[in-house]
Amino acid sequence: MKNGIHPTYRPVVFHDIASGEQFITQSTIETKETVTIEGVEYPMAKVDISSASHPFFTGTMTIVDTAGRVERFERRYGRRRKSAGATEES
């Protein structure tokens, strides 16, 4: 393999925002935040959903609306449905 073209593969802490769970795994993800666990400083990546908060693994249903996805959908497709119905009646 060529030197200098591959990203560094290192331990990274993934922090599940929904449940507060943190776990350490190997990754090449680039992060700006760090966290210290048991005296060792690790890069930290925040995730919205992991196995600690996913409904399939927990058996609970939660709605996570990041960045207003539902509102954006309603704005885009809700208006079209209403305006399409108005043109059919005319």
Q: Classify residue 42: in a domain, yes or no.
A: yes
Q: Which domain holds residue 50?
A: 10-89
Contact 15, 24 (CB under 8 A): no
Q: What does the mean pLDDT of the chain come to?
A: 77
What are the residue ranges of helices labelled H in 1-90?
55-58, 69-73, 79-89
Q: Classify residue 32: in a domain, yes or no.
A: yes
31-66 per-position pLDDT tens digit: 999 999 899 999 999 887 776 666 555 566 656 666
Q: Classify residue 76: in a domain, yes or no.
A: yes
pTM: 0.58
Q: Classify residue 81: in a domain, yes or no.
A: yes
Domain count, the chain: 1
Q: Classify residue 25: in a domain, yes or no.
A: yes
Place 78 in a pLDDT band, splitting at 50, 70 and 90.
Answer: confident
Q: Classify residue 3: in a domain, yes or no.
A: no
Given this model, what pLDDT does residue 48 score? 79
Which tokens in the block code for residue 90? 């005319």
